[in-house]
Amino acid sequence: MAQGDIDPPIVPHVPIPTRGRSPWARGLACVAIVPLLGFIGQTGNTLWGEWKSLRSARLSERASAIVGYVNINPNPSYAARPADWFHDEGEQALLWAGWKDDQNQWFRLGRGEIRPGSVSLPIGRDVIQAIDVPIYERDGGSCWGRIPDEAPVVGMEGGADSTVYPMKVLDKVEVINDRIGDRAVLVALTPVEDTVAVYEAVVDGRRLTMGHAGYFLGHHPVLYDRGTESLWTERDGVMVAIAGRRKGATLRRIARLDTVAWGDWRSKHPDGRLVVGADRSQARPVD
């Protein structure tokens, strides 16, 4: 028999159902899927929460790591303020400045230059220690490499003398007397508002250096210049002498600095200066 004489096998026709699953079947499938989705969602939330907690712990650990800033801690005084810590003597007003050499120290102001009740209670002059002689590092210093990338800093442009101030340092000292290039500047933190301003620290051609007087006037710290012990505070964007021999003198604000991440500043200013503390061994400059 020739191969072409064999009939091909007959394949029986099996009809394919065209209807979808019954509503009951679909309902059962949905019922089965819902717990699975719930399990996946719960597990996902748990994992997300654990990841956030781990990340927060890592950031907290980095933020609390010892960087090694030098001589920036407060210098607390345990002397009690006298009952007459603000009083008049003839044409002068005396404002308590703290305790030194076994006696009370006083700021001597013109009578009526400061209203009683307008300033905070005193904490003592230089308890919050301003930086008069900054210590700097450049790339390769011990602090430079320890600061977390996300740590907040404020920076002042100045070419080769571009300078950055860690907020952890400013939170402790509040005032930094510095030079950027040939310009004398005052860097001052207003802690209640968490703002940092830079002022040109020159009056009548003379550089001024400032310390913390130990008072606040409203939200702003009260400073004193080391030459005349006049009292200064910020008003309307200007540092102004409110009492003392220099009353009415002003320091022009150069800039108001925004916080940035240390890693961002470092990448843009790899040759800049980093303030890492204060040299307390040198005598304070007196204007």
Q: How confident is the model at residue 37 (pLDDT cuts 50, 70, 90)?
A: low
Q: Where are the domains of the chain?
A: 120-278
Handedness of CA 70, 219, 107, 103 (dihedral sign): negative
Count of C-beta atoms within a 10 Å radius of residue 3: 5
How many residues can be counted in the chain? 287
Tokens of residue 249, six digits = 């003198």
Handedness of CA 116, 118, 119, 121 (dihedral sign): positive
Q: Which of 118, 107, 83 is nearest to 212 (CA)?
A: 107
Whether residue 148 is predicted with pLDDT greater than 50 in this model: the reply is yes
Whether residue 258 is predicted with pLDDT greater than 80 in this model: the reply is yes
Q: Which of 210, 198, 204, 206 is nearest to 253 (CA)?
A: 198
Whether residue 181 is predicted with pLDDT greater than 60 in this model: the reply is yes
Give the pLDDT of residue 33.
Answer: 72
Q: How confident is the model at residue 259 (pLDDT cuts 50, 70, 90)?
A: very high
66 vs 286: CA distance, rounded Å? 33
Whether residue 286 is predicted with pLDDT greater than 90 in this model: the reply is no
199 vs 221: CA distance, rounded Å? 15
SS3 content of the chain, % helix, strand, coil (to 5): 20, 35, 45
Give the pLDDT of residue 58.
Answer: 45
Mean pLDDT of 172-176: 98
Whether residue 262 is predicted with pLDDT greater than 70 in this model: the reply is yes
Give the pLDDT of residue 53.
Answer: 46
Mean predicted lDDT score pLDDT of the chain? 86
Q: How far is CA 90 from CA 22, 87, 282, in A?
A: 103, 10, 38
Contact (Cβ atoms closer than 8 angstroms) between residue 217 and residue 242:
yes
Helices then strands, counting H and E runs in the chain, come out as 3, 19
Tell me the pLDDT tens digit for each residue of 45-80.
665 555 454 444 344 445 445 799 999 999 988 889
Burial state string for 229-262 with b = 16 or more CB within 10 A and e = fewer than 16? bbbbbbeeeebbbbbbebbebebebbeebebeeb
80-85 contacts: CB < 8 A, separation 24 or more? 81/121, 81/122, 85/122
